[in-house]
Amino acid sequence: MAKTDGNAYTVIFATVMVIVVGGILAGLAQGLKPAIKENERFEKQQNILYAMGVHENGDDTGAVNFIPTDKVEEAYTSFIKESFVFQNGKALDGEDAFKVDMKKQSKLSKSERKLPLFVGERDGKKFYVIPMYGKGLWDAIWGYVALDENLIVQGAFFDHKGETPGLGANIKERYFMDDFIGEQIMNGNKYAGITVAKGNNDPINNTKDDNEVDALAGATITGDGVSAMIKSTLKSYIPHIQKMK
């Protein structure tokens, strides 16, 4: 085995290996990019539609059922009527709300941040779907909350990058997301957001005007992240929605 112990051999081996592996991975990533991008676009459309109540949750299994990928494009164009991008209190012209990268925007200061808003219509009712992006315990969390013109939540969808399976990861389960439906974000005339609360003693969420939903056991930080994300995001949209109605 002497030939594999020399320094020159080691350096050459390392170099060749890095080039080969780098080449394989770069080629693979390039080749698969269009398919991955397409999947991500469908997913975003599914999520937006889900938040405004366009889904196939007909059965009672409690599973999250999106509009299937082959139909989502069509459904999206028929349900989402308009979209806007706001910045610093004004609507921007010529911006595609769908292409706004929420992760990038979350790092900008408040006055520079672009706020995309999707306005959908279902059964003659208007829905304002608001994308949001925040921090959970381990990594990013994000979601879409649909409000009606009275600022009552009509639907919510949450997702995460790496929350703990069985604990924080359950924010994307229906029993958590469905709790938000009907919840108010205003407390009288004051803005309150929605808090994921541990001690609200209302596990079935009968009280819709307490600005609270029941938390997930064992997922305090993820829940706090959801509360903070909702609270900070929705606030900047209220004036825009009130102007529109």
Enumerate residues 6+ apart whose C-beta is below 8 A from 158: 141, 142, 143, 171, 172, 176, 177, 226
Q: Is 215 in the site for another protein (CB under 8 A)?
A: no
Decide if 164 contacts 69 (C-beta within 8 A). Answer: no
Which of 81, 108, 217, 245 binds another protein (CB under 8 A)? It is 217
Nearest Cα residue to 110 out of 84, 135, 131, 89:
89
Does 1 interact with another protein (rule: CB under 8 A)?
Answer: yes
Phi-psi region of 124 (alpha: psi -120 to 50; beta: other; left: phi over 0): left
CB 147 to another protein: min, Å: 26
The residues with which 166 forms a beta bridge, in sequence order, are: none
Q: How many CB atoms lie within 10 A of CB 134?
A: 22
167 binds another protein, rule: CB under 8 A: yes
**Which one of residues 19, 26, 29, 108 is an interface residue with another protein (CB under 8 A)?**
29
Q: Which is nearer to another protein, 161 or 245 (CB)?
A: 161
Residue 195: closest CA among 222, 209, 213: 213
Return the residue of 13, 19, 78, 209 that touches another protein, per CB under 8 A. 13
Q: How far apart are the C-alpha atoms of 110 and 78, rounded to whole Å?
A: 32
Contacting residue, 15, 19, 23, 25, with another protein by CB under 8 A: 25
By the rule CB under 8 A, 10 interacts with another protein: yes
The answer to whether residue 24 forms part of the interface with another protein (CB under 8 A) is yes
Tell the smallest beta-carbon distance from residue 27 to another protein (Å): 11
Q: Say whether residue 169 binds another protein (CB under 8 A).
A: yes
d(Cα 116, Cα 122) in Å, to the nearest integer? 20
Site string for another protein, 38-57 (x = CB under 8 A): -x--xx--------------
Residue 193, CA atoms < 13 Å, CB-side half-sphere: 16
Residue 65 lies near another protein (rule: CB under 8 A): no
**Sites of contact with another protein (CB under 8 A):** 1, 4-5, 9-10, 13-14, 17-18, 21, 24-25, 28-29, 32, 35-36, 39, 42-43, 62-63, 69, 161-167, 169, 203-204, 206, 217-218
